[in-house]
Amino acid sequence: MRAVKEFFDKLAKNETYVKIFKTPFTYLTGAILLSIFQVVTFGVTGEPWGVSGTFANWGAWLYRLVGGNVDRWYYFSSAGAQAVLDRGFFNDPGTMRNLGIIFGALAATLLASQFKIKKIKSKKQVVAAILGGFIMGYGARLAYGCNIGALYSAIASLSLSGWVFALFLFIGAFFGSKLLSKFFM
């Protein structure tokens, strides 16, 4: 046990380890890595990077699991959407990517030894989190994408829609921050 502790104490002070796993990357490094990986995911899966659309599919699969049927829902009515649902959870690139993000984030915070279960400070936080999550998720589906699918991937694909999305994202963020300072300051 002592040898193990010594090893980890030494590792925590190792310059390269600290640089890669502990200190946050600069925005520039992050941007370059994101750009590379969105090209990779586009090349491998044949579709641009998206996040929130997959969550709607997770919801549909969960609903199917309890005996529900979404075949006649307008959102899932296209042949493409049906094909994705029929291929299933484990054959969906978006699912693998999102699981990768979740477990990757967990791994990153553990490697930096920054994992912490945060306490909930007030009921206000709970209400804001649930309400905010619902509005964001619902809005992302109405817009056919979130800040990844409709903004990042759209702009990377030279689509004008990404810039339109960006403009309204800023307007939304402006009013969002007004609400934030009104209720949380």
Partner 1 sequence: MAEFTLDCLGEACPVPLMKTEKKMAELSVGDVLIVSIDHSCAMKNIPEWARKQGYNVEIEEVDDGEWEVVIEKTK
Does position 114 interact with partner 1 (CB under 8 A)? The reply is yes
Binding segment for partner 1 among 32-40, 65-73, 83-91, 112-120 (CB under 8 A)?
A: 112-120
Kindly write out the interface string for residues 19-58 of this chain, putting x where it contacts partner 1 by CB under 8 A and - elsewhere.
Answer: -----x----------------------------------
The answer to the question of residue 116 lying near partner 1 (CB under 8 A) is: yes
Q: Which is nearer to partner 1, 2 or 116 (CB)?
A: 116
Comparing CB distances to partner 1, the nearer of 93 and 176 is 176
In sign, the C-alpha dihedral spanning 89, 90, 91, 92 is positive
Assess 123 for contact with partner 1 (CB under 8 A).
Answer: no
Tokens of 84: 């994705």
Point out which span in 74-82, 92-100, 118-126, 163-171 binds partner 1 (CB under 8 A). Answer: 118-126
Using CB under 8 A as the binding rule, the residues of this chain from 152 to 181 that contact partner 1 are: 177, 180-181
Contact, 124 vs 146, CB < 8 A?
A: no
Q: Which is nearer to partner 1, 72 or 116 (CB)?
A: 116
Residue selected from 109, 127, 138, 172 as contacting partner 1 according to rule CB under 8 A: 109
Give every CB contact of residue 121 below 8 A, 6+ residues apart in sequence.
Answer: none
**One residue of 29, 35, 78, 113 binding partner 1 per CB under 8 A:** 113
**C-alpha dihedral sign at 19, 37, 147, 57:** negative
Query: Is 4 or 117 the residue whose CB approaches partner 1 more closely?
Result: 117
Per CB under 8 A, residues contacting partner 1 are 24, 109, 113-116, 118-121, 125, 177, 180-181, 184-185
